[in-house]
Amino acid sequence: MSRLRAIWQASLNATKRALTWNIEDLMPPSERYVFNFNSKEELKRWHLYSDSEYGGLSSASLEIKDAGAGLCGMLSAVGIFSGNLSSEVTEGSRWRINRSGFCGMRSKKFDGFIDLDSYDTLALRLKGDGRCYISTIYTENWVNSPGQQEDNSWQAFVFVPKDNWYIAKIPLDRYLPTWRGNVIDVKMEMNPSRIVGMSLSVNAGGGIPGAKSGTGDFRLEIDWIKALRTQ
C-alpha cells in the first residue's frame, strides 16, 4: 500500500505542477517593437501625405540613413522624416481647403491588426527640431455603418527637443479620439487589441506653448517605435 500511495502522491504532485500557471511566463515581454527604422525595407511599410494632395505646396520625404556606429560598434540606421511646410495654395486649385501647412507619414495597413492590449504606453525614440509633432494610432472601426469606412483615429502631441535624442513615452489613455484632425467630444475608449496603423505628422500651426511653429523646413529622425508595459 505504501508503494501505491507513493506512486499516487507522485502522480498528484506532477499534475499540480502541470496545472500551476506561472503568470510571469504567460505575460508578454515588457516591451514590443512596432516599427524599427534600421533598414531601407522599413520604407515599404509607410507612405507620405501632405496638403499638396489638396492644392497646398507643402512637401515631405522619408528616407533611411546610416547613423554611424551604435552599441557594440555595429552600424545602425535611422529614419528621417523631413520637408517643408507652406501655407500657400496652388493658384486656381479646384480644391477648397480651409488650411494648409501639414505633412505626415502613415504606415500602410497592417496585415490584419496588431494586439497591444497587454501594453499601456507607446514609446518613440526621436531627434527633432523643436517642433511639436502628432502621433496617431488608428484602430478598427467599431461602427460599421454604411458610408463610414474610415478607421477610428486617436492622437497625442509629441514635443521633440532640438538636436538631442529623446524617448517620448505617451500613455495610451492620453490619446484622444479625433475626426479628420479635430478632437471629438464623445465618450469612447481606444481598443488597443485592434490597431491597424500609426502615423506621425506635423502642422505649421498648433502644438504646445514653447514649441517651434510656423512655415518652413522640418526634420524628425526616428529610431524606433515600441509598445511598453509600465504597470
Report DSSP state, residue 98: S
What is the mean pLDDT of the segment spanning 193-199?
95
The sign of the dihedral angle between the CA atoms of 116, 120, 126, 129 is positive
pLDDT tens digit string along 114-123? 999 999 999 9
In this structure, the number of other CB atoms found within 10 A of the CB of residue 150 comes to 10
CATH number of the CATH domain containing 197: 2.60.120.430
Look at residue 19 and tell me if it is in a domain: no
Q: How far apart are CA 19 and CA 146, in angstroms?
A: 48
Residue 34, domain member (yes or no):
yes
The answer to whether residue 214 sits within a structural domain is: yes
Residue 15 domain flag: no
Is 192 part of a structural domain of the chain? Answer: yes
Strands 31-36 and 132-139: unpaired
Encode pLDDT of 53-95 as tens digits.
888 999 999 999 987 655 555 558 999 999 999 988 877 666 6
Classify residue 88: in a domain, yes or no: yes
Which ranges of the chain would DSSP assign to H, the alpha helix?
2-19, 23-26
Domain of 95, in residue numbers: 30-228
**20 falls within a domain:** no
- Please state the domain count of the chain: 1
Instruction: Kindly state the DSSP code that residue 120 receives in the 8-state scheme.
Output: -
Give residue 124's Cα distance to chain centre.
8
The mean per-residue pLDDT over the stretch 147-173 comes to 89
Q: Is the pTM of the predicted complex or chain greater than 0.85?
A: no
pLDDT one-digit tens code per residue, 13-57: 655 554 444 544 556 789 999 999 999 999 999 999 999 988 899
Kind and range of the H or E run holding 137: strand 132-139
- Would 81 be classed as within a structural domain? yes
User: Which DSSP helix (H) or strand (E) runs through 75?
Assistant: strand 75-85
Taking CB atoms within 8 Å and a gap of at least 24, the contacts of 10-13 are: none
Q: Show the cell assigned to 46.
A: 509607410
